[in-house]
Amino acid sequence: MFDTLSEKFSNAFKYVQGKSKISEENIEETLKEVRTALLEADVNFKVVKEFIAAVKEKSIGEKVIKGVNPGEQFVKIMHDELAKIMGDANEEINLERPGIVPILIVGLNGQGKTTFSGKLALHLKSKKKKDVLLVPCDTFRPAAKAQLQTLAKQIDVECYDSDLSLAPKEIVLKALEYAQKLHKNVVIIDTAGRLHVDEELMGQLKDVKMALDSFKPEVLMVADAMTGQEAVNVSKTFHEAIGVTGIVLSKMDSDAKGGAALSIRHVTGVPIRYVSMGEKMKDLELFHPDRLAKRILDMGDVLSLVEKAQENINESDADSMMKNFQKGKFTVDDFLKQMEMMSSMGSMTSILKMIPGMGGMLRQLGDLSPAEAEMKKMKVIISSMTKAERENYKVIKDSRLKRIATGSGSSIEAVNDFLGKFKQMEQMMGGLSSMMRGGGMPSFPGMGPQKGFRQEAGGTMPQIPGGKQKKKGTKGPWGKGYF
């Protein structure tokens, strides 16, 4: 997310790093580069202007705090201002009021309205314990009803059987009546999109909103983050025409540049409430401006990482792994579980980026997909091993080797290669475990004397072998192919 912007910011900060104090002269170059980076990321020019002025004012007036270098201080100012233009704290819609809350989902064609309707229903059902009714109200593209019904089935939420021959405002009134009878808490209404803002669509949406007026509907507008300033302009038009209570940025998993996220709140005054991050129903996050600012500035996002881990990690698996670890034991099954936990949390890059300081490191490492492909291969090999073999890989010799190779469609060398790497991991985990029990520093296989590394971009990086190296570097300490 916003990789180019992060990289340019990190380059811009080099002018203030190592200075004894922030002055007008030494931030001039930095601010120039920050401005260019923001404009290139398609951030609204007025927002850029105000942002730069605010950062400049805060930086120059800033006293150097003892123990904090001006570079760090500058990044902190950038963080606070970035968070501020995006809205500071997360504001989720208020569902704790009495009666049914209708949520109208609006936006242009193909922005992700129907997908988001399903995601929101799942979120409100599982996290907020609400009884939700999904209502298809797209009379423009009738296939949209079937699309919503399919999603509803997937997440086990009721979908209203709308009569699409009626006008949208009549559909919603009937649906609300039905929902009241069943004592539903929330009604999510998926509306039709259009290629461009047009009068007919706006008229229809106004009618629907008016019909729902006594229920005080929430109106969430879905905007594709990839479309940058276009998303900002369309949101403004929708807001002026029908009154929007929240914005949802969709497709944030794609290589959106950041323009929409950084400008919409400031330009429209409407808060961004959710970000849609993929095609799966659980790919929805609350929009936290402060956390996003941290991610953009490579400060990591430990809170989101912990939440992700809590959502995805199976406690009993984690428990049994910990028990083994405390005993200094590490089995192939433990390794498999670790890999599965990691992939259930997202791509390797997306997880590592949430760790403070990793952003710069990842830029040096480049593409991690070879390491992910390697992980997939390992999983296939492990799936061809018996339970006894996973408990104790040392029994794997001749005929077992052949069987695993055939079963996994790989060569005997590939299986041997995996076992060799696993042996190294086992030693390393054993070392870590004894260190945790007070046994001193572990000796990592093949690692040689320990070297420190600086966390910021440009420091000496620990290698993640298997990842394609962008810059010339030494081979990783853990041998080729080890992730």
Task: State in angstroms the smallest separation of the CB of 202 from ligand GTP.
Answer: 15
Could you say which residues in the range 166-195 bind ligand GTP, by CB under 6 A? 193
Report the residue from 42, 81, 138, 334 that binds ligand GTP according to the rule CB under 6 A: 138
Report the DSSP beta bridge partners of residue 189: 104, 135
Binding of ligand GTP at residue 144 (CB under 6 A)? yes
Report the partner that residue 439 touches, choosing among ligand GTP, Mg ion, none (CB closer than 5 to 8 A by kind).
Answer: none
> Which of 18/142 has CB closer to ligand GTP?
142
Report the residue from 141, 174, 329, 390 that binds ligand GTP according to the rule CB under 6 A: 141
Q: How many residues does the chain have?
A: 483
d(CA 62, CA 185): 49
Q: Say if residue 421 is exposed, middle or buried (CB neighbours under 10 Å; 0-12, 13-18, 19+).
A: buried
Report the residue from 114, 185, 245, 408 that binds Mg ion according to the rule CB under 5 A: 114
d(CA 17, CA 66): 15
Binding of Mg ion at residue 119 (CB under 5 A)? no
Report the partner that residue 277 touches, choosing among Mg ion, ligand GTP, none (CB closer than 5 to 8 A by kind).
Answer: ligand GTP
In this structure, are residues 447 and 476 in contact, taking their beta carbons and an 8 Å threshold?
no
d(CA 14, CA 75): 11
Strands 132-137 and 158-159: parallel
d(CA 285, CA 53): 31
Could you say which residues in the range 246-275 bind ligand GTP, by CB under 6 A? 250-251, 253-254
Contact pattern from residue 277 through residue 316 relative to Mg ion, giving x for each residue in contact according to CB under 5 A and a dash for the rest: ----------------------------------------
Nearest residue to 372 (alpha-carbon basis) of 352, 357, 356: 352
Task: State in angstroms the smallest separation of the CB of 110 from ligand GTP.
Answer: 4
Report the partner that residue 87 touches, choosing among Mg ion, ligand GTP, none (CB closer than 5 to 8 A by kind).
Answer: none
Task: State in angstroms the smallest separation of the CB of 122 from Mg ion.
Answer: 16
Binding of Mg ion at residue 405 (CB under 5 A)? no
Contact pattern from residue 144 through residue 163 relative to Mg ion, giving x for each residue in contact according to CB under 5 A and a dash for the rest: x-------------------
d(CA 404, CA 121): 44
Binding of ligand GTP at residue 227 (CB under 6 A)? no
Three-class DSSP labels, 349-403: HHHHCCCCCHHHHHHHHCCCHHHHHHHHHHHHHHHCCCHHHHHCHHHCCHHHHHH
Q: Which span (137-145, 229-237, 322-330, 339-347) binds Mg ion, by CB under 5 A?
A: 137-145
Report the residue from 6, 30, 227, 276 that binds ligand GTP according to the rule CB under 6 A: 276
* CA 178 to centroid of chain Cα atoms: 36
CA separation, residue 17 to residues 70, 98, 173, 392 (Å): 7, 53, 60, 51
Residue nearest to ligand GTP (CB): 193
The site for ligand GTP, by CB under 6 A, has a size of 20
Q: In what order do the strands lie in the sheet with 272-276?
A: 158-159, 132-137, 186-191, 101-106, 218-224, 246-250, 272-276, 284-286
Report the residue from 10, 114, 235, 331 that binds ligand GTP according to the rule CB under 6 A: 114
Residues at the contact surface with ligand GTP, assessed by CB under 6 A: 107, 109-115, 138, 141, 144, 193, 250-251, 253-254, 276-279
